[in-house]
Structure 1
């Protein structure tokens, strides 16, 4: 048995591809966005490689739909948000997998806590303890009009609502005590022990929810909770609530600072550093040699017109029309964004530090949506991942590919074996649940904890 720190790996499935022009690549299968068999294939590839989990981002709208409605057809080219609804997809994937964790996004901005609590706990039961909920606030403004609003509520209010949403969902997940609540005793005719079923009776600023949830706790207690915000409000919410933090970090110094900050903040909520796993996004562009990998990257970039690249900045532009600025001039000063504040700050910093033109930062962003793009050989990629792990810049990575399925298959068959050879990634799953494989504790039922503490006092 070794005490060596081990990498965590997630497969971030941004079908048909994370790169804005990736779906046009000769090896790409663009129909993966609506093909369940494609989802199943890449999930099974990830499970064969012993990934901790797969992860589906979600958007409850079509990116660019507002522009299309205004007749701006060029701006609507960004729309790649046609995909299967992720929670329904997770339930289906649970039937064709055995070990891998199944994580999906559900926004707290345009959902209700009871529905989300029931949906994810159902998936957790169906998968025997492998579900995870990526708790996010909505970003793209195109979503708001699908729910009766002209625009998002302010950023701070979205996070305030999210924090209360988390309290309601996790409170509902604890409605039933782990032992003896659901009896189903045929002889006595007693179906449940009402003393072990708890009403939440939540009354807050955003929600009024009585409970209890009409589904019991799962074998892992709660689904794993992921969080993806990196703004000040996002970091605080992550430190308080998240088991896993998905983030966009491109430089090791900044990644180390983010890592340390989240772990430090967690302490004030009574959480240990190991209670949170930090997993930045990583986009691999592989080649047998550095030259081949670079050629592969340049071939991909050549597929992307400048106008499409520019649209990759639309969600962080603060409403500024970037088409009115010269492409070979600097990135203009951006108004504050009500969408993705941390992502806007990252992109502006990258442009300023590297003296990039508007064209260059647009193409850079479109290639990785802000995540780190690593171009090189499998050995070089393993070197970089090991360095970030050992220097506490990351606990693992969320692998997000430019198109599917070939780049992900190549990562699993070329990079993962090298990580295993180095002894920093598993060769077999350690446990049966997602929490066990991530090295996370099972949450204690809050009502049982309260009774235990009362008895101890």
Structure 2
């Protein structure tokens, strides 16, 4: 069977998400509906109709406040604020779908592994194994202050913490409960066989957890692990732990470079690179004709908020673009390492198709970047998606939607059938939990080559004796 596109809807339980200023559009229902269960029920049914593999819920723990050294530009345009906790809408969406899965973002820098493990086990139970964890290390200075820290944890240190966080999580999910621990023996009066439930007694540099895990094993035991990162540390972390990796880049060639690098690193860690799915972002403006699509693009541009775009770039990169605007506009816009994330910065510097001046870099954020959006008729859009899919080597996409839900509705109506007819997209879902749907190893639990599998119940106990 030919390789088919895996498709996630890029979402957030917030008023706006990566569609700066477009809350003003007459068809936008997100900024009012995001806090209503009925909105998410309709969204779930729409996405399952379109055979989407998952909803990918992004999240933040603070306000973007690097641009102009102020929170005002972000708050004014609803840049990922107000935002609710996505964990609470997932069971509702799962209750009205059978196959649609859910990836939820949780930070390893500010959360604790014990509580997080129970949260994901609970969600995995309630969704019948349709849950994934997008592992992030968080980069907003405001988030650090919200959790009682004076300064952000350094970029590389955040990944050190993340490695240990995953180690504790694997012990809780894999080692704490043996298969068959829940016996329901009415004659002996035993619901759970205590000899098959174990403390993990983890004592490390950042975490100390006795256990046992409070939840019995869920359908996948460990949620599917998602991760995004283009820095050296980020790619190494993804190669070691992630089953689904998000990479960014301005060209198919650059995305292929990152994808190949992660797969190569995964092999060095003893993993099968076929057990990693690589994703990138996809933004589409489609209409019945190319002329109508171009008119939509112009309409969206008129509503675009450059300030919100610059605020997001600043928070993600650590670059205050208001300060850059005061410099010589002809100077080169160069990459500089900060303690924030590296993806956004790289997109306009070392990953850009050509070296940009400060003026050119700032102009990229003044409007919807045409280089980052596919605009056209259904056939033209499908052609470009197919070309990118084949040239980049990715396995799928995180689909942005500028006006919600109309952009999703039109994409499902006009583009999905063409991709299906070309054999590039499934017509029916594969049965089973998310991990079985995604991979050919046909297991709902971690494959043997994944580092988390070495903590399976019994193996950890045996190694400590």
TM-score by shorter chain over 0.5: yes
Give, in angstroms, the shift of residue 409 of structure 1. 1.1
Q: Give 1:36-435 correspondences, 5 Å limit.
A: 36-64=37-65, 73-74=72-73, 76-81=75-80, 82-177=82-177, 179-316=179-316, 318-320=318-320, 322-323=322-323, 325=325, 329-330=329-330, 332-333=333-334, 335-349=336-350, 353=354, 355=356, 358=359, 361=362, 363-364=364-365, 367=368, 372-435=372-435
SS in 1 for 2:218: coil
Correspondence 1:443 to 2:442: no
Separation in structure 1 between the aligned mates of residue 305 and residue 125 of structure 2, nearest angstrom: 45
Separation in structure 2 between the aligned mates of residue 72 and residue 277 of structure 1, nearest angstrom: 36
More displaced, 91-100 or 420-429?
91-100
Q: Structure 1 pair 101/31, CA: closer, same or farther in 2 (3 Å)?
A: same
- In the alignment, structure 2 segments of 5+ residues that lack a partner are 448-452
Count how many residue pairs are aligned between Structure 1 and Structure 2: 450
SS in 2 for 1:353: coil
SS in 2 for 1:282: strand
SS in 2 for 1:283: strand
Separation in structure 2 between the aligned mates of residue 210 and residue 384 of structure 1, nearest angstrom: 52
More displaced, 104-113 or 342-351?
342-351
String of CA shifts for 1:276-324, please: whole Å, max 9, x gaps: 1101011111122333322211221121354444334322453545256
> What residue is the counterpart of 2:450 in the other structure?
none
| TM-score normalised to structure 2 length | 0.88
Give, in angstroms, the shift of residue 40 of structure 1. 2.4
SS in 1 for 2:59: coil
String of CA shifts for 1:193-214, please: whole Å, max 9, x gaps: 2332222221111111111111
- In the alignment, structure 1 segments of 5+ residues that lack a partner are none
Contact 2:333/2:361 (<8 A) preserved: no
Separation in structure 2 between the aligned mates of residue 255 and residue 300 of structure 1, nearest angstrom: 27
Give the root-mean-square deviation of aligned CA atoms. 2.9
SS in 2 for 1:348: coil
SS in 1 for 2:184: strand
More displaced, 89-98 or 356-365?
356-365
String of CA shifts for 1:42-82, please: whole Å, max 9, x gaps: 22211111111111100012334x889x8774564354221
Correspondence 1:9 to 2:7: yes
Q: Structure 1 pair 268/354, CA: closer, same or farther in 2 (3 Å)?
A: closer
Contact 1:326/1:358 (<8 A) preserved: no
Contact 2:5/2:395 (<8 A) preserved: yes
Separation in structure 2 between the aligned mates of residue 107 and residue 288 of structure 1, nearest angstrom: 41
String of CA shifts for 1:83-115, please: whole Å, max 9, x gaps: 220112212222222211111101111100011
> What residue is the counterpart of 1:18 in the other structure?
18
Q: Structure 1 pair 78/351, CA: closer, same or farther in 2 (3 Å)?
A: farther
Give, in angstroms, the shift of residue 425 of structure 1. 1.1
More displaced, 284-293 or 109-118?
284-293
Contact 1:54/1:101 (<8 A) preserved: yes
Separation in structure 1 between the aligned mates of residue 334 and residue 357 of structure 2, nearest angstrom: 13
Separation in structure 2 between the aligned mates of residue 305 and residue 452 of structure 1, nearest angstrom: 53
SS in 2 for 1:313: helix
Separation in structure 2 between the aligned mates of residue 295 and residue 350 of structure 1, nearest angstrom: 30
Give, in angstroms, the shift of residue 247 of structure 1. 2.4
Separation in structure 2 between the aligned mates of residue 371 and residue 211 of structure 1, nearest angstrom: 50
Q: Structure 1 pair 247/35, CA: closer, same or farther in 2 (3 Å)?
A: farther
After TM superposition, the runs of 4+ consecutive aligned structure 1 residues lying more than 6 A away are 452-455
